[in-house]
Amino acid sequence: MPTGGRDPVLEEYGRLASRYDRRWSFYIEATTRETMKRLPLRPGDRLIDIGCGTGALLHALSESNGEADLTGVDPTPEMMRIARERLPPSVRLVLGRGERLPFRDESFDVAVSASVFHYFRQPRVALAEIARVLRPRGLVVITDWCDDYLACRLCDRILRWINRAHFRVYSLEECHGLIESAKFESIEVERYKINWLWGLMTARAVKGSA
């Protein structure tokens, strides 16, 4: 994490929180839709949304599966205040980071993270934390930008120079390798475009039972 001043992720998203949903409405709707397509959720499943932001994905999940046990975690208080206003009281919201999740081992059946992975400066640590809080055979679903698409690749390189909050974007192959290094199994990574320019990928994997 860059040093000096406020944490750059907290600074950027604290500043953007009040207009984030309006400014990025198409992108939020697309990532929520595409993640939900690839996120099987059963009644009673305990799900954690890592980097839940203003709660768009949790809101969609609460409406589509009211019996699921939903928790969101995010480091930015300003974003979490907006999430609290839009979400039902049954959805738990906790301040915290993906690299150090404030939950006990094997607390969840499903872990999901949308548009957050490119901010993690220690992606292997974040994946190890996800594995820790998932029960054996628990599912992780990660949606993020995909470096295999030219627009994402160019944006990534520019943001590395000008945006202190941004860290890096991964290719499909790199994403698969990171998840595999965290001892997940049955790894599937799919890449796709959400418009003529921008591409995403969604990875799904299962925590090993050993």
Strand order, beta sheet including 199-207: 92-95, 69-74, 46-50, 108-114, 134-145, 199-207, 184-193
Distance CA 170, CA 124 (A): 13
CA–CA distance from 8 to each of 76, 85, 150, 175 (Å)?
11, 25, 26, 24
The pLDDT mean for the chain works out to 95
Question: What is the rounded average pLDDT of the residues 134-156?
Answer: 97
Rounded to two decimals, what is the model's pTM? 0.94
Domain extent listing, the chain: 8-207
**Does 4 have pLDDT greater than 50?**
no
Distance CA 32, CA 196 (A): 18
Percent of the chain with pLDDT over 90: 93
Question: pLDDT digit string (tens) for 47-102?
Answer: 999 999 999 999 999 999 878 999 999 999 999 999 999 999 999 999 999 999 99
- CATH number of this structure's domain 8-207: 3.40.50.150
> Hey, which residues does 112 pair with through a beta bridge?
49, 141
Question: What is the rounded average pLDDT of the residues 184-188?
Answer: 97
Ramachandran region, residue 97 (left: φ > 0; alpha: ψ -120 to 50; beta: rest): beta
Q: Give the model's pLDDT for residue 210.
A: 63
pLDDT band at 38 (very low <50, low <70, confident <90, very high): very high
